[in-house]
């Protein structure tokens, strides 16, 4: 049975020698265990099936030392590849995802001290509520807004936004990642989008069974006392880690300029339609990073390239064409995607020589019909 040794590394018992050894299966076990601890309910994330994806890649004999996770989202797959010992470059145009990737992929050993955690949660500065929060009074109580306002102020007090040294950047990213994962865990209660957002309206969230006091049966505010201070994944000697926040097609077309040459590119794009407009769905988290409204944030055109059905096909075709310098690509899709699997495969074949399709079932918690299992496809393609 797999376990964690004293270094936190995935190992198994070698029954011939009696010692601990690291194996592929022990790493898969560790990936499942490590990702589960993050409790990140990010829409469409592959946290639960990351070991299956990696095992499928291995079953086809694909060898790779470096990976580009092109639409990293929650960074679950990037973290999984890092645990495997691969060099990882992860990219997402969304700033909240970018911060998560800095915190848990680029970072291998930086953690917040107990004093820093206490300051973040307990310091009560005499400051006004930022105007950013006025648009979210239907999502949070007054007390919650005050806490989130103070927490952001405390981040700036501890780690100045005007400093760009590596340690400061990573600690700021950790602060943001911890609180946004906490908010998602408590406020994404499923059932439906609320005005295009995944965070439930306050009344819906407070009435949800997850947020009710067992004794009084009354809805509870977020206490913020049980933030999960997940530790990052240790770096593997000899491996490199990079994090980008670029338009996916632009990044692929300029790999040399970004100094990355991956053996494999994992692609989990938005699947098209209303529930693919992640920038709008995660509007609060995107804005909370810098306390900016949607109007103050830029690059809208790039954020919706893989949302609207009218231009999805052309953008996907451009994306595939831009992968020609990468030996292998692995693409996740399911049966709710912009096209059926045959249509998607035919576009890939225009730019690449070999296309393999694997299928398995998976239940998406935030689908309208969550009881119906989706057909999840993994497309493996050689240049």
| pLDDT per residue as tens digits for the range 195-226 | 788 899 999 999 888 888 888 988 899 999 99
Position 52 in a domain: yes
Least Cα distance to 97 among 181, 208, 193 occurs for 181
Specify whether 131 is located in the same domain as 19.
Answer: no
- What is the reported pLDDT for 115? 98
Tokens of 335: 């049966």
Position 272 in a domain: yes
Specify whether 10 is located in the same domain as 73.
Answer: no
Least confident range from 5-19, 166-180, 261-275: namely 5-19
Q: What is the pLDDT of residues 37-58, one digit of tens each?
A: 988 778 878 998 999 999 999 9
Domain range for 18:
1-27
User: Which whole number is the average pLDDT over 83-104?
Assistant: 96
* Spatial distance between the Cα atoms of 182 and 307, rounded to a whole number of angstroms: 27
Least Cα distance to 268 among 334, 325, 351 occurs for 334
Percent of the chain topping pLDDT 90: 70
Percent of the chain topping pLDDT 70: 88
Tokens of 99: 């911060």
Q: Over the Cα atoms of the chain, what is R_g?
A: 21
Specify whether 181 is located in the same domain as 247.
Answer: yes
Residue 191 clears pLDDT 70, i.e. is over it: no
3 state SS for the chain: CCEECCCCCEEEECCCCCCEECCHHHHHHHHHHHHHCCCCCCCCCCCCCHHHHHHHHHHCCCCCCEEEECCCCCCHHHHHHHHCCCEEEEECCCHHHHHHHHHHHHCCCCCCCHHHHHHHHHCCCCCCCCHHHHHHCCCCCHHHHHHHHHHHHHHHHHCCCCCCCHHHHHHHHHHHHHHHHHHHHHHCCCCCCECCECCCCHHHHHCCHHHECCCCCCECCCCCCCCCCCCCCCCCCCCCEEEECCCHHHHHHCCCCCCCCCCEEEECCCCCCHHHCHHHHCHHHHHHCCCCCCCCCCCHHHHCCCCCHHHHHHHHHHHHHCCCCCCEEEEEEECCCCCCHHHHHHHHHCCCCEEEEEEEEECCCCCCCCCCCEEEEEEEEEC
Specify whether 180 is located in the same domain as 286.
Answer: yes
- What is the reported pLDDT for 212? 87
Least Cα distance to 241 among 86, 96, 45 occurs for 86
Specify whether 6 is located in the same domain as 131.
Answer: no
CB 193 within 8 A of CB 275: yes
Q: What is the pLDDT of residues 334-368, one digit of tens each?
A: 888 888 999 999 999 999 999 999 998 766 554 45
- What is the reported pLDDT for 220? 93
CATH of the domain at 326: 3.40.50.150
Give me the residues paired with residue 356 across strands: 380
- Number of structural domains, the chain? 2
Position 32 in a domain: no
Write down the mean pLDDT value for the chain. 89
If one counts every other C-beta atom within 10 angstroms of the C-beta of residue 33, the result is 14
- pTM of whole model > 0.85? yes
Residue 100 clears pLDDT 60, i.e. is over it: yes
Residue 178 clears pLDDT 70, i.e. is over it: yes
Position 369 in a domain: yes
Specify whether 134 is located in the same domain as 259.
Answer: yes
Least confident range from 106-120, 134-148, 190-204: namely 190-204
- What is the reported pLDDT for 365? 53
Q: Under 8 Å CB-to-CB from 287, ≥6 apart: which residues?
A: 132, 293, 294, 296, 297
Specify whether 3 is located in the same domain as 54.
Answer: no
CB 310 within 8 A of CB 366: no
Give me the residues paired with residue 4 across strands: 10
Angle at the Cα of 24 (from 74 to 375), degrees rounded to 5? 50
- What is the reported pLDDT for 3? 37
* Spatial distance between the Cα atoms of 56 and 334, rounded to a whole number of angstroms: 16
- What is the reported pLDDT for 2? 37
Band (230; pLDDT cuts 50, 70, 90)? very high
- What is the reported pLDDT for 189? 85
User: Which whole number is the average pLDDT over 304-320?
Assistant: 88
Specify whether 140 is located in the same domain as 188.
Answer: yes
Residue 4 clears pLDDT 80, i.e. is over it: no
Specify whether 149 is located in the same domain as 274.
Answer: yes
Specify whether 6 is located in the same domain as 137.
Answer: no
Band (29; pLDDT cuts 50, 70, 90)? very high
- What is the reported pLDDT for 248? 96
- What is the reported pLDDT for 15? 43
- 35 CA to centre of own chain: 11
Residue 131 clears pLDDT 90, i.e. is over it: yes
Angle at the Cα of 53 (from 52 to 57), degrees rounded to 5? 115
Residue 320 clears pLDDT 50, i.e. is over it: yes
Q: Give the N- to C-terminal CA distance of the chain in Å, as an integer.
A: 38
Specify whether 18 is located in the same domain as 45.
Answer: no
- What is the reported pLDDT for 20? 60
Handedness of CA 63, 65, 66, 69 (dihedral sign): positive
Half-sphere exposure of 100 (CA within 13 A, CB side): 28
Specify whether 89 is located in the same domain as 2.
Answer: no
Cα–Cα distance list, 344 to 138, 217, 339, 347, 379 (Å): 40, 48, 6, 5, 9
């Amino acid at each position: 049975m797999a376990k964690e040794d004293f270094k936190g590394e995935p190992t198994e018992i070698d029954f011939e020698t009696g010692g601990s050894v690291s194996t592929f299966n022990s790493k898969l076990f560790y990936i499942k265990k490590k990702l589960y601890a993050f409790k990140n309910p990010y829409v469409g994330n592959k946290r639960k099936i990351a070991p299956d994806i990696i095992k499928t890649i291995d079953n086809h004999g694909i060898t790779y030392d470096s990976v580009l996770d092109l639409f990293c989202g929650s960074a679950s797959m990037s973290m999984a590849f890092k645990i495997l010992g691969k060099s990882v470059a992860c990219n997402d145009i969304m700033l909240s995802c970018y911060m998560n990737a800095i915190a848990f992929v680029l970072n291998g050993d930086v953690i917040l001290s107990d004093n820093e955690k206490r300051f973040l949660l307990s310091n009560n500065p005499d400051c006004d509520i930022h105007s950013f929060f006025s648009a979210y009074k239907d999502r949070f109580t007054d007390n919650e807004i005050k806490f989130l306002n103070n927490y952001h102020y405390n981040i700036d007090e501890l780690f100045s936004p005007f400093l760009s040294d590596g340690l400061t950047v990573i600690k700021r990213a950790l602060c943001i990642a911890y609180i946004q994962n906490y908010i998602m865990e408590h406020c994404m209660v499923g059932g439906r989008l609320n005005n295009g957002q995944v965070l439930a309206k306050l009344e819906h969230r407070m009435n949800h069974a997850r947020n009710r006091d067992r004794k009084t049966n009354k809805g509870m505010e977020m206490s913020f006392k049980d933030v999960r201070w997940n530790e990052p994944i240790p770096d593997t000697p000899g491996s490199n880690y990079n994090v980008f926040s670029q338009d996916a097609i632009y990044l692929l077309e300029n790999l040399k300029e970004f100094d990355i040459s991956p053996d494999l590119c994992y692609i989990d794009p938005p699947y098209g339609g209303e529930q693919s407009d992640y920038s709008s769905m995660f509007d609060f988290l995107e804005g909370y990073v810098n306390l900016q409204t949607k109007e103050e944030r830029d690059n809208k055109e790039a954020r919706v390239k893989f949302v609207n059905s009218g231009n999805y096909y052309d953008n996907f075709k451009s994306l595939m064409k831009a992968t020609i310098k990468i030996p292998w690509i692995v693409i996740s899709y399911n049966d709710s995607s912009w096209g059926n699997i045959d249509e998607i495969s035919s576009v890939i074949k225009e730019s690449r020589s070999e296309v393999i399709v694997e299928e398995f079932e998976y239940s998406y918690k935030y689908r309208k019909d969550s009881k119906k299992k989706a057909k999840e496809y993994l497309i493996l393609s050689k240049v």
